Structure 1
Amino acid sequence: MMWRALTRLPRDGRDTLFLLAVITWVALPLIQQVPLWCSLMGAAVILWRGSLAWRALPLPGTAWRLGLLALAVAATWMSYRTLLGRDAGVTLVVVLLTLKTLELRARRDAFVVFFLSFFLMLTQFFYSQSLLTATAMLLALWGLLTALVNAHMPVGKPPLWQAARMAGQMTLLGAPIMLVLFMLFPRLAPLWGLPGDAMTGRSGLSASMSVGNIASLALDDSVAMRLRFTGQQPEPTQMYFRGPVLTQFDGKRWTAMPWPDADLHPMPTQLVVQGEPLNYQITLEPNQQPWLLTLDATPQPPKVPGSTPRMTHDLQWVLTRPVTELLRYEATSYTRYLADVDAPRTQLRPNLRLPLGFNPRTQAWAQELQQSHPDPAARVQAVLQHLRTGDYLYTLEPGLYGRDSADEFWFDRKLGFCEHIAAAFVIVMRASGIPARVVTGYQGGERNTLDNFWTVRQSDAHAWAEVWLAGRGWVRVDPTAAVAPGRTGSLQRLQTPRGALTSALLGSVSPAFALNMRAAWDAVNNRWNQWVLNYTQQRQLDLLKNLGFESPGWEDLLYILWSIVVVASLASAAWSAWERQRQDPWLRLLVRARKAFAHAKLQLPPQSTPRQLIELWRQHPSLQARYPQLRTWLLQLEALRYSQPKPQQAASFKQQCHALGRQLKRMGR
């Protein structure tokens, strides 16, 4: 019923509804980025304009449009305290685009809507460059081109599928040009910086850790990085990716020690690696932080294109700038190592400090442990055994902790996620005289059998402890593994409980099928990341090296791009000349004659003969004054084709056509 009513609409109404649907598709992904009022206002205006088109009602007056525009500008200012910048600018574009549909009267207004829609489509990539976003915008491009082609079609009611087919052909014809520009156009820095990630209340890494302030933890299943090993692969229990090391503790908050430039050096003097190396390549997602995630321990700087990473005093590799785009680098690590075995006591002192007046019960218990287990290694094992046998629980919903979070964990609640367990363990170690610190990062991952890449997600974020033991240096201790061995053993992860709707939709889906589909999607996403998002300037230069350039630069990219443009232009000109040679020269002359009539704004039948053109010439004195010799020329053109009984030689026929063409050119001057 609805489809029948839609097909019976006038062309203006039908085309308007189609354009509104395309605009809605373009703007829909921005709902999470713009304020709520912008989404509601845009939806209301689109529905209003659609209702007017459906019922063929007149458009609102200028007062309505100006009032809504002033309201939108004021709301944007109230939301961002500015009208400039990325977020405020995108909000204004969304509002202006929807309001422009309220004055969609002429073709000029439609073109403004088209170009605003194209610009809004590009703004999607300010927030996401994922494969899903690219696919959605490709469909949006097809829809906008269809509406644009349809606007250029003649009067009547041509079917939309005809315009859609032509738009698809145009897109396919433009694909080679887009591919060449993608491969060779020099990579430039982004126009806008990317927003920082707020990790509070979600799994992931942060530069600090506040134990007890989060009542529940939501698992973020987004990808943190992907890696592929070349050669030997480690056991999953050995895959600890080192991030920020938290040493300072004020009773509630753990933070990393500052590392001034003088404290950064390429390789610590007291790092000794053992065993076989692990070689791998990491593709790191943007995290707005300078951290480089590597396996413990990595003695040599990771190979980062265009940058030289540096190592802090606690074995963490960092860059001088935050990672704001997809970054691929190579590293070599060793799972067996000795770090700071001969560290002086002054260097270890910050790892023994505890604030006064916090966690008295934990400190008292630590003193008992020190007396009953004088050997530090035995003391560590005693606390781990206490975790195994003390009915402690690893959970995503530990609730809010009070001032003495370690006391509550050890003696009252006995539950928490890895941050709680690691922090409480380090406090016991320090209180018993063992230098200790909290290390954050990622643990484990999921191997995709389709492409042999490991996927590490934000839900794999982890916190563990390191203790310093005489003769052994810094030793990793994961107290969470004592509470929940599956967290680091078989890589079992906690999962957020499903809602009623999710359970209803996915309750009948086979777990094996779901895992296979997820693996296939991850493999496709990984290819997108490797070959599209991570196609950097360095990879462009590597492409030139493979083509024979010794030391290519961005100037060489421009030279090659310019050469391709020149060659393509010459090839197009040659093709056009060849096509003209294939055409009948007499028909080309007739087309040129028709153009002379078209310049005089005369309507011609589509298959006008020279005799018909002569009759039309006689009826228009203005044409006789402008082209007085045109009648004689048309008679010669007709005679050239029809008056001679014998077939002419091709060469002679072309020569006569060229001679008539020169005459027509002189008449037009």
Structure 2
Amino acid sequence: MKLPTPSHLPRDTRDTLFVLAVIAWVIAPLTPEIPLWCSLLSMAVMVWRGLLAWRGQPLPSKWWLLGLLALCLGATLISFKTLLGRDAGVTLVVVLLALKTLELRARRDAFVVFFLGFFLLLTHFFYSQSLLTAAAMLVALLGLLTALVNAHMPVGRPPLWQAARLAGSMALLGAPIMLLLFVLFPRVAPLWGLPGDAMTGRSGLSASMTVGNIASLALDGSVAMRVRFDGAPPPQSALYFRGPVLSYFDGRTWQARPSTLPSRWRLPADLQVTGEPVRYQVTLEPNRLPWLLVLDATPQAPVLAGKTARMTRELQWILDQPATDLLRYEVRSYPNFSHGPRQGVPGLQEYLALPDGFNPRTLQLAAEWQRDPRHAGAGNAQWVALAMQRLRSEGYRYTLDPGVYGRHSADEFWFDRKAGFCEHIASSFVILMRALNVPARIVTGYQGGEKNSVDDFWTVRQSDAHAWTEVWLEGQGWQRVDPTSAVAPGRTGTLQRLSPPRGRIAEAIFGSVNPALALNLRAAWDAVNNRWNQWVLNYTQGRQLELLKNIGFKEPDWQDLIYVLCAIVVLASLGGAAWSAWERHQQDPWLRLLQQAADKLRVAGIGFTANSTPRHMARQLLAPAPGSSPKASPQGQAWHDWLLRLETLRYARPDAGQATHFRRQLATLRNELKHLQWPH
């Protein structure tokens, strides 16, 4: 059977295929978030529906739909153990939208599909509020509006571009209202966050660290946070954004210090700062983690809206709840600081503990150093210097691919492989320090970043995730020591970063691209994304109230936002009414009355050309239909006489001195038009 070409498809088929394409566009970005069976089923149903429309075949019976619906409900229940919640709810909406296309027969069914499509469009922002998501949903919105406008168009075959143009005009007309609501409608945060739904964090930071975890993040170039400094920023080598502090080691995994330690073992923070602070603003990407990343050291709580934070004894700032949405906060950090006890206390013993049966060669190396007469009387600082010198001078390498480490990870690093990522280096260094009776611990977080030349924000990426160490020195307290800087100074001292090798396909596509051009394009895209984050996603109620302060409100609240919004809506409505009245006054009242008559006849099924005169319209009304009597109906004769009187009034219009008579006659014709009817 020969299939029709797209340009010769019936209108119903063309419109159905267009609606299916729009629905596919709406569903596609959700495929990573919904179960695989849901994506495959939705795709199969829409392909099936498209083939039925293309071939002009009947739709499946309701028993097919009921069976598929029951199957989908069962699969959803098995996948999520519930039919409630964000993920289960979104899955059900996708299923309902796909199945509804199988009973897309009448305009009423199409409106249900449009409603579900608009609703599903909003659910994308449960998972991502990025600029790309917003752009994709804008295209989806225009597509759904085009399909909706097309469904309201009269019979015939109006081109889709005409419906798309009208949909675009509607969107542009609605843009000022959308902008007004965005700026002034009271915001409740988090708007899209659903804390009850678990989601794996992307930052790679956790309360534990097993060798290999952070290394995998070096391949992730996504943004972790953006930082803007007030004034000159610190050197790149000093940008250590503090995260979890890990002090307990079981031989394979480093974990945070247990909170059940006796009070006599709990070391006070004893933070002391000097000099001028570094002031900056951080925009933290959502990560579902409770840690507030700041530079060392930050004695005062960062300023952020809607959340509170506390500082632990290890100088880590922890939120009262995980960061489920974009978080912006202002910080004052002091690069010159000291913390921890200055003299030996019992609590330091925790930072000397090592598990039995692990890394015997590292323990032996420490014992040999302690027995060496050259190091007689060495203190903690000397042991640190000796270990750093070994890292610098004995061929150790910083690499993304050190291989899988075994049971004795420190032994393999110090004696066999001599290669590793920051976590291998930091872990091995702390184990050696503890074996030398030097209290030490691991600090995880982010180090460095890159300055965007477009907007002067520093971008910190997931690939900047880092692990360094802190050792305790007599009279000084805890001091930062980054052993990775001894192995690879470029990792912390410059903007140099390791990057994964490209595959053959990526090399074929991007191998000829100028690196400088690629960096500039990346910087421009990051700047655009940052503006989106700052102006849209981070537009909080606090910034709304700040806007009201700038226009004269002393102590504004959300009620003032409502008052201002209502006042603007009223003023805009009055302005629109005044404009409409002015426009009506500017239009020729005779032409307006003629247009009203033509519209009334057009509704009755009688159409005229745009330049039809009253006399031409009158003749057309009295022209007999083929095979009918030439005698006109009373209603037709009334229309004929009314149109001729309207024409007479036009060409017998009195001068300006008799304008009152003209308006009176025109009003009479207007009243008569209300009672004129066309015979059915």
- TM-score normalised by structure 1 residue count: 0.90
Contact 2:217 2:465 in 1 (8 A): no
Go from structure 1 to structure 2 and tell me whether the alpha carbon gap of 1:528 and 1:98 turns closer, same or farther (over 3 Å shift): same
1:307 Cα deviation after fit: 3.8
Which residue among 366, 385, 396 is the counterpart of 1:381?
385
Q: What's the offset of the Cα at 1:479?
A: 0.9
Which residue number corresponds to residue 542 of structure 1?
546
Other-structure match for 1:524? 528
Preserved CA contact (<8 Å) 1:215 1:399: no
What is the alpha-carbon distance in structure 1 between the residues aligned to residue 311 and residue 654 of structure 2? 94
Partner amino acid for 1:479?
P
Q: What is the rounded CA distance, in whole Å, between the counterparts of 1:602 and 1:647 in structure 2?
A: 38
Whole-Å Cα distance in 2 between the matches of residues 567 and 594 of structure 1?
Answer: 34
Amino acid at match of 1:655: R
Contact 1:217 1:396 in 2 (8 A): no
1:634 Cα offset (Å): 7.2
637, 659, 666: which one aligns with 1:650: 659
> Structure 1 488/660 Cα, relative in aligned 2: closer, same or farther at 3 Å?
same
Matches for 1:24-63 after TM superposition, within 5 Å? 24-63=24-63
Judge which range, 221-230 or 67-76, deviates more. 67-76
Separation of aligned partners in 2, 1:220 and 1:422: 21
Cα distance in structure 1, aligned partners of 2:589 and 2:448:
74
> Is the counterpart of residue 198 in structure 1 residue 200 in structure 2?
yes
Q: Distance in 2 between matches of 1:288 and 1:413?
A: 36
1-structure distance, mates of 2:203, 2:404? 16
Q: Identify the residue that residue 456 of structure 1 maps to in structure 2.
A: 460
Residue 493 of structure 1: aligned partner:
497
Instruction: Give the direction of change, closer, same or farther, for the CA distance of 1:314–1:480 in structure 2 (3 Å limit).
Output: same
Kept in 1, the 8 Å contact 2:193–2:324? The answer is: no
Could you tell me which amino acid in structure 1 is paired with residue 194 of structure 2? G
**1:568 aligned to 553, 569, 572, which one?**
572
Which residue of structure 1 aligns with residue 627 of structure 2?
A: none
Q: 1:139 to 1:317 in 2, by over 3 A?
A: same
Distance 1:324 1:146, change over 3 A: same
Most deviating of 91-100 and 550-559? 91-100
Quote the residue 2:244 is aligned against: 244
Paired amino acid for 1:552: P
Partner of 1:301: 301
Aligned with 1:502 (options 500, 506, 523): 506
Q: SS in structure 2 opposite 1:245?
A: strand
Instruction: Give the SS at the match of 2:456.
Output: coil
Q: How does 1:172-321 map to 2 (within 5 A)?
A: 172-189=172-189, 190-193=191-194, 196-198=198-200, 204-211=204-211, 219-257=219-257, 270-321=270-321
Query: Which deviates more from structure 2 when the two are superposed, residues 601-610 or residues 561-570?
Result: 601-610
Output the CA distance in 1 between the equivalents of 2:659 and 2:456.
Answer: 66
**What residue is the counterpart of 2:626 in the other structure?**
none
Q: CA deviation at 1:540?
A: 0.8
- The separation in 1 between residues aligned to 2:606 and 2:645, in whole angstroms, is 23
Structure 2 counterpart of 1:650, one-letter code: A
**1:495 shift after superposition:** 1.5
The alpha carbon displacement at 1:9 in A equals 1.4
Cα distance in 2, alignment partners of residues 187 and 64 from structure 1: 44
**SS of the residue aligned with 1:488?**
helix
Distance 1:522 1:69, change over 3 A: same
Q: Pairwise mapping of residues 82-161 of structure 1 onto structure 2 (< 5 A)?
A: 82-161=82-161
1:63-82 equivalence runs, <5 A: 63-82=63-82
Structure 1 pair 85–145 and aligned structure 2 pair: CA distance change class (3 A): same
Aligned twin of 1:14? 14
Q: Distance in 2 between the 1:458 and 1:279 partners?
A: 23
Q: Post-superposition shift, 1:249?
A: 2.1
Q: CA deviation at 1:633?
A: 7.3
Distance 1:608 1:620, change over 3 A: farther
Report how far residue 181 of structure 1 moved. Answer: 0.8
Counterpart residue identity of residue 468, structure 2 = W
How many angstroms apart in 1 are the aligned matches of 2:657 and 2:596?
Answer: 23
Distance 1:326 1:215 in 2: 25
Q: Residues 353 and 564 (structure 1 numbering): CA distance in 2 closer, same or farther, change over 3 Å?
A: same
Q: How far apart, CA to CA, are the structure 2 residues paired with 1:165 and 1:219?
A: 44
- Distance across 2 between alignment mates of 1:416 and 1:172: 55
CA distance in structure 2 between the aligned counterparts of 1:244 and 1:457, rounded to whole angstroms: 17
d(CA) in 2 for partners of 1:136, 1:400: 41
Return the letter of the residue paired with 1:57.
Q
- 1:469, 1:342 → 2: CA distance? 8
Q: Does 1:408 align with 2:417?
A: no
Contact 1:212 1:405 in 2 (8 A): no
State how far apart, in whole Å, the 2-side matches of 1:602 and 1:165 are: 26
Query: How many Å separate the matches in 2 of 1:163 and 1:39?
Result: 30
Residue 488 of structure 2 is aligned to residue 484 of structure 1: yes
Is the 2:269–2:312 contact (alpha carbons within 8 Å) kept by the matching residues of 1? no
TM-aligned CA deviation for residue 651 of structure 1: 3.1
Deviations 1:475-525 (A, max 9, x none): 100111122222112232221222222121111111111111111111111
Alignment partners' CA distance in 2, 1:344 and 1:470: 7
Partners of 2:218 and 2:39 in 1: CA distance: 26
Contact 1:446 1:456 (C-alpha < 8 Å) held by counterparts:
yes
Please report how far the alpha carbon of residue 636 of structure 1 lies from its aligned counterpart in structure 2 after TM superposition. 6.4
Residue 596 of structure 1: how far off its partner (Å): 6.8
Kept in 1: contact 2:396–2:419 (CA 8 A): yes
Tell me whether 1:467 sits opposite 2:476 in the alignment: no
RMSD of aligned C-alpha atoms?
Answer: 3.2
What's the % identity of the aligned pairs? 62
Distance 1:571 1:161 in 2: 32
Out of 418, 423, 426, which is 2:422 matched to? 418
Q: CA deviation at 1:309?
A: 2.9
Give unpaired runs (5+ residues) of structure 2: 624-630
Q: Aligned AA for 2:200?
A: A
1:300 deviates by 2.2
- Shift, 1:637, TM fit: 5.3
Q: Does the 8 A contact of 1:208 with 1:255 survive in 2?
A: yes
Partners of 2:600 and 2:13 in 1: CA distance? 37
CA separation in 1, counterparts of 2:173 and 2:653? 44
Partners of 2:103 and 2:402 in 1: CA distance: 56
User: Secondary structure at the residue paired with 1:32?
Assistant: coil
Contact kept in structure 2, 1:259 and 1:312, CA below 8 Å: no
Task: Normalising by structure 2, report the TM-score.
Answer: 0.88
Q: Is residue 622–residue 640 contact of structure 2 (8 Å, CA) maintained in 1?
A: no
Partner amino acid, structure 2, of 1:559: Y
Structure 1 residues 341 and 129: CA distance shift in structure 2, 3 A: same
8 Å contact 1:301–1:309 — kept in the other structure?
Answer: yes
Change (3 A) 1:204 1:212: closer
Post-superposition shift, 1:549? 0.7
Cα shift at 1:381: 1.0
Task: Give me the whole-angstrom Cα distance separating, in 2, the residues matched to 1:667 and 1:142.
Answer: 41
Shift of 1:410: 2.4
Contact 2:226–2:283 (8 Å) recurs in 1: yes
1:423-482 per-residue CA deviation (whole Å, 9 max, x = no partner) reads: 121122122211111101100001111111110001100000000101111110011112
**Structure 2 Cα separation of the partners of residues 644 and 306 of structure 1:** 70
1:438 and 2:442 correspond? yes
Q: How many pairs are equivalent?
A: 655
Query: How far apart, CA to CA, are the structure 2 residues paired with 1:347 and 1:160?
Result: 75
State the SS of the aligned residue for 1:181: helix
- The answer to whether the Cα contact below 8 Å between 2:653 and 2:662 also exists between their aligned partners in 1 is no
Using the TM superposition, give the Cα deviation of residue 187 of structure 1 relative to its aligned residue in structure 2, in angstroms. 0.9
What secondary structure sits across from 2:325 in the alignment?
coil
Contact 1:216 1:398 in 2 (8 A): no
3-state DSSP of counterpart to 1:387? helix
Q: Deviations over 1:310-349 (max 9, x none)?
A: 2111111222122111111111222222212535513323
Flag the 1:218–1:70 CA change in 2: closer, same or farther, 3 A. farther
